[in-house]
């Protein structure tokens, strides 16, 4: 099945004729600016599984909170353009720094609901190699990051502030996480939580919510979701794994589809219980 993207609002959309749900995808910095190219095989796999795909180009900026909230407006604009009912399941899938934006939306949802504002309540999230970047990651110039932070114009919320927001939230019950055993950016499940964002998420979400975290670590590096299809193989962005990777041996796409299906089963149809399950 071929996948064709068309521009709607600020995103690229592949509309499924009979969607079982909508996946709004946000990738990492650099590669995420061209998601329909960099992540094409991954997105095509989700499309072939029955999802309409909204590929949001990565937006650079230091105010990560505002960038995250802008994703809600994008969701609503595209939903209206496609004429989809709000009852159609909506999923958030992120890779790398894109996961931070999704996690912030989830963390903000409790307060948003109390204030009668839009949120991602009852919309499951799949975090792939989540990276909670700080100013030093966004501005990799020696000495500049501490200066920006001291002036109050660095990344907001910071990594510590983001972790506090997540930790103080009673949500994240509709969350799944996929990590990679050779990830030197987001880290792995077995590293100390102060060295690995993956390990921190697992420690925070595994048993502290109403629903256990769906998670699995599979072979690969941080850029495993990225690859250009060439015949029956993908051109791997990690040359140490070999230039070509057989599609038949890939674990990521089947696992992502499995996790989305399991998250969908956790959804509650009762509007009065949405807060407890989002």
Judge whether 111 lies within some domain: yes
The average confidence (pLDDT) of the chain is: 89
Q: How far apart are CA 94 and CA 117, in angstroms?
A: 23
Q: How far apart are CA 189 and CA 210, in angstroms?
A: 21
Tally of domains within the chain: 1
Q: How far apart are CA 217 and CA 178, in angstroms?
A: 6
Judge whether 177 lies within some domain: yes
E strand spans, the chain? 6-8, 11-14, 21-26, 51-56, 90-95, 125-128, 175-180, 214-218, 227-230, 233-236, 244-246
Torsions phi, psi of 272, nearest 5? -75, -15
Q: How far apart are CA 98 and CA 173, in angstroms?
A: 19
**Inter-residue contact 158 to 134 (CB < 8 Å):** yes
Considering the entire predicted model, what is its pTM?
Answer: 0.91
Torsions phi, psi of 192, nearest 5? -60, 145
Q: What is the pLDDT of residue 70?
A: 94
Judge whether 96 lies within some domain: yes
Report pLDDT digits (tens) over 142-168. Answer: 677 778 777 777 888 999 999 999 999
Report pLDDT digits (tens) over 166-193. Answer: 999 888 999 999 999 999 999 999 999 9
**Inter-residue contact 122 to 90 (CB < 8 Å):** no
Domain membership of residue 255 as a residue range:
6-277
Judge whether 26 lies within some domain: yes
User: Which strands sit side by side in the sheet containing 227-230, from one edge to the other?
Assistant: 227-230, 233-236, 244-246
The sign of the torsion formed by the CA atoms of 262, 263, 266, 270 equals negative
Judge whether 1 lies within some domain: no
Q: Which residue has the tokens 């501490």?
A: 146
**Residue of 133, 77, 66, 137 lying closest to 105 (CA atoms):** 66
**Inter-residue contact 56 to 10 (CB < 8 Å):** yes
Q: What is the pLDDT of residue 242?
A: 60
Q: How far apart are CA 13 and CA 25, in angstroms?
A: 10
CATH number at residue 24: 3.40.50.1820
Q: How far apart are CA 131 and CA 94, in angstroms?
A: 10
Report pLDDT digits (tens) over 81-128. Answer: 999 998 999 999 999 999 999 999 999 987 777 777 888 989 999 999
Q: Which residue has the tokens 């960038």?
A: 67
Q: What is the mean pLDDT of residues 246-258?
A: 93
């Amino acid at each position: 099945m071929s996948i064709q993207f068309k521009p709607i609002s600020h995103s690229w959309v592949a509309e499924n004729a009979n969607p079982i749900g909508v996946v709004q995808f946000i990738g990492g910095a650099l590669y995420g600016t061209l998601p329909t190219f960099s992540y094409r095989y991954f997105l095509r796999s989700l499309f072939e599984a029955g999802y309409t795909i909204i590929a949001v180009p990565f937006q650079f900026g230091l105010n990560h909170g505002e960038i995250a909230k802008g994703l809600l407006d994008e969701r609503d604009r595209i939903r209206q353009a496609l004429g989809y009912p709000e009852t159609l399941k909506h999923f958030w899938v992120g890779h790398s720094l894109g996961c931070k934006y999704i996690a912030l939306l989830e963390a903000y949802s409790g307060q948003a609901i109390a204030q009668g504002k839009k949120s991602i309540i009852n919309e499951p999230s799949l975090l792939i190699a989540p990276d909670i970047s700080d100013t030093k990651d966004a501005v990799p110039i020696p000495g500049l990051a501490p200066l920006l932070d001291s002036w109050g114009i660095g990344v907001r919320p910071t990594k510590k502030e983001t972790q506090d927001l997540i930790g103080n939230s009673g949500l994240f019950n509709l969350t799944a996480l996929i990590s990679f055993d050779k990830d030197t950016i987001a880290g792995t499940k077995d590293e100390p939580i102060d060295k690995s964002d993956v390990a921190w998420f697992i420690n925070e979400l595994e048993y502290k919510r109403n629903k256990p975290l769906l998670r699995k670590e599979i072979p690969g590096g941080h850029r495993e979701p990225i690859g250009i299809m060439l015949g029956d193989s993908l051109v791997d962005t990690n040359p140490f794994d070999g230039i070509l990777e057989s599609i038949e041996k890939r674990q990521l796409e089947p696992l992502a589809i499995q996790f989305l299906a399991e998250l969908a089963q956790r959804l509650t149809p009762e509007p009065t219980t949405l807060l407890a399950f989002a």
